[in-house]
Chains A and B, each alone.
Chain A
Amino acid sequence: MANANDKANCQGTVVKRDKFIQLKRAWYKFSLNKTSVIGLVIVVAVAICAIFQPWLAPYPHHAGEFVDFANVNCPPCKEHWCGTDGVGRDILSRIMYAFRGAFTLGLGCLALVVPFGVVMGLIAGYHKGQWISTFIMRVTDVFLSIPPLIMALCVCAILRPTLFNSLLAVSVSWWTWYCRLVYSMTSSLRNEMYVKSAELTGASTAHILFREILPNCFGAVFTKMTLDMGWIILTGASLGFVGMGEQPPIPSLGTMVADGAKYIPGQWWISICPALAIMIIVLGFNLLGDGVKDMLSSEE
């Protein structure tokens, strides 16, 4: 009995060590690309700012109902690194708070669109040639034919402009890309031997889809998710720019850019600082996504 336990423990240790080595190897491959590491650092830094904003921001109360007309349009200085806006609020604090909204939008949107899009893609791909596949893919085509920003604007215009509604608005058209991606992978994977074997052994469709095919799509889906984060945040910023995002006083990067645009070039910092913040966050996710893609493709 003791021998059996020792053997199991030994096997567990080996598995853990293998996983650790795998992880180490993955990190090694990831770290080979320096720009990907920069991307990861940016994303982590932004995430820290978003999560710990109340403690990190120099003036956290400036993100709420606050005005200070004695300090309006103050240029970047020691007290206000990114200056203040037209009602005297610290722009850096508001950017840090806006990161939280941007992350919520990105993650929330992906949490909605990925499961739905992936499931639709699996069903359509596995049943390729059947009516259900045709139906799903034609619906997908209809949604794909409408530019995501236009669709989001329409949805936001109908609903009240809030973060949650922006999230819904972006999600309405974003799932189609995951559906397309998984559809093409599934329609090819369904002819693989291991899928055929599972079918012959009488495995259920759900088992085949979620246990046999889905794990093989994870890499591509995960890479796309990383790359999409940046684009979703950018779309959210565009909504904010046209007034369809978060409403005042809640900070939103797009709204801040729009508010400052009318003061350019005199008070450039009001618009440029949040614009740079958008650039940094999108760039971070894109570089990270590149790295993830390289890492996963080399593993394959």
Chain B
Amino acid sequence: MTRKTLTIMAMLLCTCLIIGLAGCTPKAPDPQGELSAHDDMESIIRFGRDWPTYIDPGVGSSYTCQVAHANLYDPLVFPNTDGTVRPHVASEWTVSEDGLTYTFKIRQDIKFHSGNLLKASDVAFSMNRLLTIGEGFSHLYHGVVKECYAPDDETVVMELNYTFGPFANSLVRFYILEEDLVMANIDKSVDTYGEYGDYGKTWLLTNDAGSGPYKVKEVRLEEYVMGERFDDYFLGWEENAPKNFMVTNLNDPVAQRTAFANKELEIARDNLPQETYAEIEKMGGLVVTKSATGGWNMMLNTKNAPTDCVYFRKALAYAFDYDTLVASILPGSAKSTGPVASVLFGKNHDLPGYEYNLDKAREMLSKSKYANDPDKWFVSLAWCAEVPEQEKMSLMFQASLKELGITLEITKTPFSVMTANAQTIETTPNASIVLWSPSFLEAGDVFKSRYHSASTGSWEQMEWLLDEELDAMIDDALSTVDNDERGRKYRAIEEYIFDLCPTIWMCANDSKFAVQPYVEWPIATYYKENVPALMPGGFDLYFRDCKVFLDKK
């Protein structure tokens, strides 16, 4: 081989490798290609974020799983946009005087996708299955529900172990499955759940047993879940409602933008870089900001040095530049003043919130037990690899802490690794940035899921508070039926947590979404017109309420 040939080959190889490196972004699946094989596929809403691994409501709990659940199944009660709930599968309910027995009347006109009528026994079966499996949103009812049974086809009784104030609100996460269908598809070759085998978990990975507005049409593992309209849905259909929906693993910002430009994506996900939203807006997309029910949290490990010292944690909280965050990194977001979002029931509006003040940070640092030991001023921070904006937050924080002489080591960590690291105190970093939203719209869920000892060892609480006094306060508040009293207790708890400063409450999760101009998405309309609208995760993408105008496509 001549020298010239070798040189040319080397140059070509280098160019290919560099172009390859630059272009090594995850390849977007080709939903349009897949869809073209189907009829009637134009009337579709596609949403890309991640693949909803568990469309079984007894198992899944991630955001895209919640989206799939809300569209494939019916919950016992349905959330309103003001944070309250309304009858849905349960047409009405009564609570006993002691607050321990809930009696639900079940609608008799609801059909499952199989064509069978929904009965009270299906409701009881679904609750017992959820509690037995112990995954998904079972933590909301585990220990609370003592017994669930159906005395007749129209009535379901739930007896509680103790009074649980927000019980009715929490039932938006309780979906009904068809007992006969699930039981016909259980895998008895395994005995995970005794006589129930696998309780239908394997079958429900790719099938549904629900009565929701959509039924599963196709599940391609690791890629997407596609649902088609269930024509016999008990609430009926309006004109232009989408005939299909798809939740795909289309996650990468470049892939999202490209799919949006090609009209292969109707709703672009939250937490894309601001630059991507700007480009989508240029394409004619409607970018809306969703009201926050949760927030951006920098969870501080309260058991590992140096973040085990409350003054050190407060120094960190005062060294975070909240104004720049909401002005430049997450424009449109509101600052947080504590663990509870300002729109949730039970929020303590008297809390001042932490502010960016390096003098105060130095003062706190001087009170810290590590004040005279600068060698220990080393903080490890993990940011979630799937959310690019978190790197900017980390770098900004790193630059601030440098002013104080604190070393911040930043590590880009995939969420799966973050979850694994959260399982022990030792492997949990000093700080972890996590976006968190409550399961139902009350401060009680924030406290129970984020700061109660029961949630340690999960990604939801990397603070490792393990504070018995706080646990008792939370349990007491949650068992209070009277709303005013419960609200008062919530406010006291928030103040208590605020003083411990286990978290840097960076800002509210006023996430942006983008929607195609030919799609009408009621929630987006609310957001655009600044109408207060709160929906638990998943229900904000309730596709039945959307419209697709094919003539505008």
Least distance between B400 CB and chain A CB atoms (Å) = 9
Query: Chain B contacts of A282 at CB under 8 A?
Result: 14, 17-18
Q: Are A87 and B395 in contact (CB under 8 A)?
A: yes
Q: Are A67 and B18 in contact (CB under 8 A)?
A: no
Docked complex: B1-35 residues within 8 A CB-CB of A: 3, 6-7, 10-11, 14-15, 17-19, 21-25
Query: Chain A contacts of B22 at CB under 8 A?
Result: 257, 260-261, 264, 271-272, 275
Q: Are B21 and A262 in contact (CB under 8 A)?
A: no
In the bound complex, what is the Cα–Cα distance between A73 and B10 (angstroms)? 33
Q: Are B409 and A247 in contact (CB under 8 A)?
A: yes
In the complex where A283-B11, A290-B10 touch, is A249 in contact with B395 (Cβ < 8 A)? Answer: yes
Least distance between A141 CB and chain B CB atoms (Å) = 25
Query: Contact flags (1/0) for A37-62 with B, using CB distance below 8 Å?
Result: 00000000000000000000000000
| Residue from A66, A86, A237, A286 within 8 A of B21 (CB atoms) | A237
Q: Are A243 and B385 in contact (CB under 8 A)?
A: yes
Query: Chain B contacts of A243 at CB under 8 A?
Result: 385, 412
Q: Are B328 and A263 in contact (CB under 8 A)?
A: no
Q: Are A278 and B21 in contact (CB under 8 A)?
A: yes
Nearest to B10 among chain A residues (CB) is A286
Asked whether A215 is an interface residue with its Cβ less than 8 Å from the other chain, the reply is: no
Interface size (B, Cβ < 8 Å)?
Answer: 43
Asked whether B60 is an interface residue with its Cβ less than 8 Å from the other chain, the reply is: no
In the complex where A72-B328, A282-B14, A286-B10 touch, is A248 in contact with B275 (Cβ < 8 A)? Answer: no
In the bound complex, what is the Cα–Cα distance between A290 and B391 (angstroms)? 41
Q: Are B18 and A262 in contact (CB under 8 A)?
A: no
Query: Contact flags (1/0) for B351-394 with A, using CB distance below 8 Å?
Result: 00000000000000000000000000000000001001001101
Query: Chain A contacts of B276 at CB under 8 A?
Result: 262-263, 266
Asked whether B444 is an interface residue with its Cβ less than 8 Å from the other chain, the reply is: no
In the bound complex, what is the Cα–Cα distance between A262 and B254 (angstroms)? 5
Nearest to A270 among chain B residues (CB) is B275
Asked whether B540 is an interface residue with its Cβ less than 8 Å from the other chain, the reply is: no
In the complex where A69-B329, A290-B10, A294-B3 touch, is A249 in contact with B398 (Cβ < 8 A)? Answer: yes
In the bound complex, what is the Cα–Cα distance between A72 and B408 (angstroms)? 22
Q: Are B21 and A238 in contact (CB under 8 A)?
A: yes
Q: Are A286 and B402 in contact (CB under 8 A)?
A: no
Q: Are B14 and A279 in contact (CB under 8 A)?
A: yes
Query: Chain B contacts of A264 at CB under 8 A?
Result: 22, 25, 254
Nearest to A230 among chain B residues (CB) is B14
**Which has the most chain A C-beta neighbours within 10 Å: B22, B275, B328?**
B22
In the complex where A241-B21, A290-B3, A294-B3 touch, is A73 in contact with B275 (Cβ < 8 A)? Answer: yes
Query: Chain B contacts of A272 at CB under 8 A?
Result: 22
Listed A/B pairs (15) with beta-carbon separation below 8 Å: A67-B395, A86-B391, A234-B14, A238-B21, A241-B24, A247-B410, A248-B410, A261-B25, A262-B276, A266-B276, A272-B22, A275-B18, A278-B21, A279-B14, A286-B14
Q: 3 closest Cβ contacts across the A-B interface?
A: A69-B328, A286-B10, A65-B402
